[in-house]
Each structure stands twice: as structure tokens, then as C-alpha cells.
Amino acid sequence: MKTIYIIMLTASILTACNNNVSKSGTETITCKYQPKIEGGKLSAEVMHQLGQVSDPQVSPDGNTVLYGVTYTSIELNKRNRELFTVAIDGSNRRQITHSPNSESNAIWLDGGNKIAFLYDGQIWTMNPDGADRKQISKYQNGIEGFKFSPDDKKVMFVSRVKIKNTASEQYPDLDKTTGRIIDNLMYKHWDEWTTSVPHPFIACFNGKGITNIYDILEGEPYESPLNPFGGVEQLDWSPDSKTIAYTCRKKTGKAYTMSTNSDIFLYNLETKEVKNLTEDNGGYDTNPRFSPDGKYIAWLSMERDGYESDKNRLMISEIATGNVDYITEDLDCDVDNFCLAGNTGDILFTACVKGTTQIFLASGKAKGNTPKDRSIVQLTGGQHDYASVAFTDSCLIALRHSMSSPNEIFRLDPQCILEPVNISNENNDILSQITMGKVEEHLITTVDGKQMLTRVIYPPNFDPAKKYPALLFCQGGPQSAVSQFWSTRWNFQVMAAHDYIVVAPNRRGVPGFGTAWKEQISGDYGGLNMLDYLTAIDALAKEPYVDEARLGCTGPSYGGFSVYWLAGHHDRRFKAFWAHAGIFNTESQYLETEEMWFANWDLGGPFWDKSNKTAQKSFADSPHRFVDKWDTPIAISHGELDFRILASQGMMAFNAAQLRDIPSRMLIYPDENHWILKPQNAVLFQREFFRWFDKWLK
């Protein structure tokens, strides 16, 4: 039996994708709506026709990969995820589900003889060919994710538990009231009112169904895994199936809003004893993983409480002694994901370095006999991001994407010497009809003499003798990587296909260029990173193929803040702006947002603290204070379900522009959150985006 270990993206890879076309061997299933590929260029409609590959799971024998592909019907305004299998050599690719709703969380079970998956909020099983499909759970509150124990006799699943009564429950005679009674903070989070939290449940599995269900956090108002992005990757089984490790932030209300201090807890199924493994650490501790021999447990850890973008460190502890080692202490970057490799002591992980996400190996055989005595080697390179990695006795299996290609599954040789081979080939037919723009790296000298990597994406069939309009892209986060990402909203190749040159700087604050570069932005929102943006666009505007009279600027979230700020400071560089879900008034944002640790760390504290110089500088630099200097057309988009940055921020900016008679437009979505996720809403976004910039830049 070969041993397989898998790491997956925890923060989730966006699987908003296409379809109208899915393939099963040589069979093609075609929906009614099928946009044309005009002139070999990528459009919003064609982009959503691409299948989004996700969550590869290698079979126990190491011969087959199970994965999902999400398809989109723009006409039906719906997405659907189907399951596929493919041999690791790329042969025998087949679609094994054909369902009206999505399958997710698919894993191998019973040594590879069965597949378990989620469908309509319940756990199902089937044969590897899709036959003998059976529902094995009927849990009334629904299931959001699950993991079977190594002995296949138990299952741990995530379901939501109610923590707050409604007003009508408090006053039964007012059964039609819609009012919400709120007594504490964290009453809303990202895009939902906080009335329930996820809990891990344990159940017995007899091969046909689950029984003896109980909540290991019974009566506790805490969340595990962590909202809103945490999933089953924040839970794990010990190899003997007797202990689970779970991630939990045991705080509520105001204490929750102020702290990022989550911990790893060990729960013994026999004694019900709970042990806090990370009590001495003040920041995030997440994603526990037991070693296959059960002697060690590893996890991701941030040191400082309240700093959600602190260095994400790889830690490992010997369970018998409790000794903890900091594996990536000498590596000046964040660990995204990891896995413990067999009993060799090796650890595979992914990390963003210099604008790409690559695979690394921390060897357990390097310098000594303890986990800390290991060398770290970067295994992969190239202009792409690796989103997950697994390895067998014969190869690595990885999920990969770039600015020019959505996710596909690749096979790599163990030493990563040979060229990776695409084994999923989901999008070859469509991509073969499209000419992508060239992606080029430029090193630009900043105002303080540092070298800033800036990517430039050129239109397809670029003609250096012509002059093109250019769009400056401002990244969100603010500490999110400008790596080789593929996005269905901020897609640089779609922008380039509309004959724009795209300028994407790795300005101060983005990861991948060391801790000092990433952390500089905190407390300096209107400072060096804004000068980085202006430096980048000024440098590209000097190129003979860029028309400096036709420059635009756009970005989401912190990028939206950046657009608002630049609108008051750009000295007529730009001819049009588009801001999505951005902060316009930092004072109101401080009291509107829910995760106060973010505002406290990045802005320095509350605006009423006059003795706090960092906070006073942050609020003095609020974009709304410079509206008197706005002189350029601006478009604004926002979702009304966005509780991180309320839609009122966008409405204030639009109202300000209108009152100052500045050409402006607002695209508001009553049913979207911080992102635009519904298919037709996403296409509308693209159409309005280019209608706006084409009006002012062409």
C-alpha cells in the first residue's frame, strides 16, 4: 500500500467558473448558453465557460486522482460542481457524477473502494465509478464538512448550532416580528448575522449510516472551525482514531472582536479530556496535522494577538514531551499549507516568494534527529502558483494556476526536475482557441530606492508601435499577494483582451518579499504604498506603447480604498477610476466593521484617542478628507451584504462625487457580499467595468 498525504488551500480557492461544457471521456455535455469566442480573445462570458478544477484527492494506492470541477450557466444564473477521476498518468479521465446540485468534500474511503462526499448538506457514499450512490447521514441541521477516522469506524463532521434566540422566540406573541435584539459585539460577521456557529460533531459509522452523534463543544458558544473561511482543514484525527485536534477561538462578543487568539485543542474520545496545545501563543493557531506515526502534531501559527497578517509559521510538537519547534524560523515568508510526509519526518508546504507560490520541502533527514534539524529546499519555480500538493511513492500531484490559466492538476516528478504534466486538461479545448496576452516582470525603483516587482500584462497580439490605454491595479487585503492568481472578477487577461495594458505592482504590504516589506503598510495606509502605485504607473507611462493621456485605476477592498485615496492625490495622472468595496471614510469604517482587531492593528486604534499618533495619522489620511481635490470620473461598486466594509462606504463616495458634479456611476448589489459571486451579477460587473473605462479611456 502506498502512502499519500495531501495539503489543500484553506482559505479556499475561488471556484466560480463556467459552464456550459463538461466532458466525460469523449462525451460532451452542452448547456443551452454557449458564448462565442470572438477574435480569439478572452471575454467575461468565455471566462465563465472555463471549468474550475479544485480539491484533488489521491487514492490510497496512489494511482488515481479524485477531484471536482465547477461549471457555470450564465443563463440559469447557477453553478454546479461535478466529480471526476483521472489516472495519475493522465489517462482514463471520467466524470462520475451528473447531478442537479453540487458534490463537495469528496474523499476516498475504505482503502479506495468507496468515495464519500457531501450532497445537499448530507454525507453520501458511492463506488469509484459513481455507482451504488447512497445517503449515509440524515442530520437535520445539515453538514458543512466531514473527516472519517483512519479506522473508518467514526466520522467527525461540522454542523451549525444555534447560540441566540430570535425576537419572536423571546416574545412568542410577536411571531411575525423581524427585529433583532443585540446586546454585544460580533452580532454580524462578513455577510451574516451571527445567530449560530459551527461545531465539530462525532458519530459512529457502521458502513451504512452514522449513529451516536454528539457535539464535542456541547453548550459552548464558540466556533470551530473558525468563521468565515475555516473548514475541515482546521480539524484532524490521530492515526489511532482516539484523539481529534480542533481549532477554536474560545471568545465571544467584544473579546472576540478584539482578538485573533485561536488555539489547537486535543480531545480524547475515550476520556473526553480536552488539552490546549497552544495556550502560550497569543495569535492564530490553525490547521493541526498529526504525523502518520502519531508521534508529532504540526500546525500553522501567528505569534501576535490582533494581527491577522502576522507571519504564518510552521510549528511542530512532539506529543510525548510537548517540545515545540519552529520549523520555518529562518524562512522569511508565510506558509500557506503543509503536510507531514510519511514517517520520514519530511514536510511539504507551499509559500509565496517573489510573487509566485511554490512548493517547498523541509527535510527531516538533513542535519540531525529533531524536527528543527532540517533544511528547507524550494522544489518548484516558474510563473505560476501551486495551490495544493500531494505526493505518492512515485510523484507529486499538485493543483496549479497562473494569470493566464485557471486551475489544472499537474503531475511532477519527486525531485521536480522534469517538466510538470497537466493530467486534468479540463480547459484545453477552450484555451486553445484563445490568444493570451504576454505577462512580463518589471523591476521598478521606489522613492526610497527599493526594487519593486511589477507585472505588466499586454494585450493579445500586442503591437509595440501602437499606444494603448493602461489600467493600474490596486490589490486588496491590504496584505494579499499579487501572485500568479486567476480570478473570475479581477482577471488581467480579460482586461488585456479589451486592449488595455495592465500594471500590477507588488507594492508595500503584499507578502512574498519578506516580513519587513509586508508589515510596512500597517499604520501607513496613505504612505509609501501609495507612492509605490504612483511610481509604478509613472514608470510604465514613459514606455512608448503606453498613452499617458489614457490611464485608469481600479481595485477591490483595500484596492478600493487606494482608488479613493489616489482620486484625491493623483495630480491629474488618471482619466478614470473604478473602486469596488473600498473604505471611503475610515472614521465611520472603524465603527461599522466587525473584526475590530483588524482596524486596531492596521489603523492604530480608535479615532477618538488623540494621544495615539499612529491612529491620528491614519484617520487624517482618510480618502473622504480629500474629496475637494477629486477631479476625475469615478465608478463605484459594492454589495449590500458586505458586513466587512458596509455598502454605505460606497454610497458616501458616490454621493460625494455627485454633489461635486464629478461624472460618476454606482453599481450596487442587494444580494452580494464583499465579492460578486452570482453568475449574472459577475457578468454584469464585467460589462459595466469596460463600458465605464471604454467611455473615458478610448
Determine the 3-state secondary structure of 688 from DSSP. helix
110: number of Cβ within 10 Å = 13
Q: Identify the bridge partners of residue 412 per DSSP, sorted by sequence position.
A: 396
Catalytic residue, from 557, 562, 618, 664: name it: 557
Q: Poorest-confidence range of 20-34, 92-106, 141-155? A: 20-34
Question: What does pLDDT average to over the chain?
Answer: 92
Mean pLDDT within 588-593:
97
Q: Cell numbers at residue 597, please? A: 482587531
Q: Identify the bridge partners of residue 639 per DSSP, sorted by sequence position.
A: 669
pLDDT for res 246: 98
Q: What is the pLDDT of residues 600-621, one digit of tens each?
A: 999 999 999 999 999 999 999 9
Alpha helices in 504-557 (DSSP H): 515-519, 528-541
Percent of the chain, pLDDT > 90? 89
Q: What is the pLDDT of residues 171-209, one digit of tens each?
A: 999 999 999 999 999 999 999 999 999 999 999 999 999
254: number of Cβ within 10 Å = 12
CA 401 to chain centre: 13
Q: Cell numbers at residue 311, please? A: 507571519
Q: Is 624 a catalytic residue?
A: no
Q: What is the pLDDT of residues 504-515, one digit of tens each?
A: 999 999 999 999
Mean pLDDT within 522-546:
97
pLDDT for res 375: 86
Q: What is the pLDDT of residues 377-399, one digit of tens each?
A: 999 999 999 999 988 888 999 99
pLDDT for res 372: 54
Distance CA(85)–CA(94), nearest Å, equals 6
Q: Which CATH class is domain 439-595+634-697?
A: alpha beta
Q: Is 538 a catalytic residue?
A: no
pLDDT for res 21: 42
CA distances from 564 to 263, 585, 630, 675 (A): 37, 10, 9, 18
Residue 225: asked if its preceding bond is cis (omega within 30°), the reply is: yes
Rg (the chain; Cα; Å): 25
The answer on pLDDT for 4 being more than 70 is: no
pLDDT for res 33: 46
Q: How confident is the model at residue 484 (pLDDT cuts 50, 70, 90)?
A: very high
The answer on pLDDT for 30 being more than 60 is: no
The answer on pLDDT for 7 being more than 90 is: no
Look-up of cell digits 454585544: 184
pLDDT for res 601: 97
Q: Which residues contact 89 (CB under 8 A, 6 or more apart)?
A: 411, 423
Mean pLDDT within 430-434:
95
Q: In what order do the strands lie in the sheet with 145-148?
A: 145-148, 154-162, 196-205, 210-215
Q: How confident is the model at residue 26 (pLDDT cuts 50, 70, 90)?
A: very low
Q: Is 557 a catalytic residue?
A: yes
pTM exceeds 0.85 for this model: yes
Q: Cell numbers at residue 185, please? A: 459585539
The answer on pLDDT for 94 being more than 90 is: yes
- For 52-120, give the DSSP string: EEEEEEE-TTSSEEEEEEEEEETTTTEEEEEEEEEETTS-S-EE----SS-EEEEEEEGGGTEEEEEET
Q: How confident is the model at residue 343 (pLDDT cuts 50, 70, 90)?
A: low
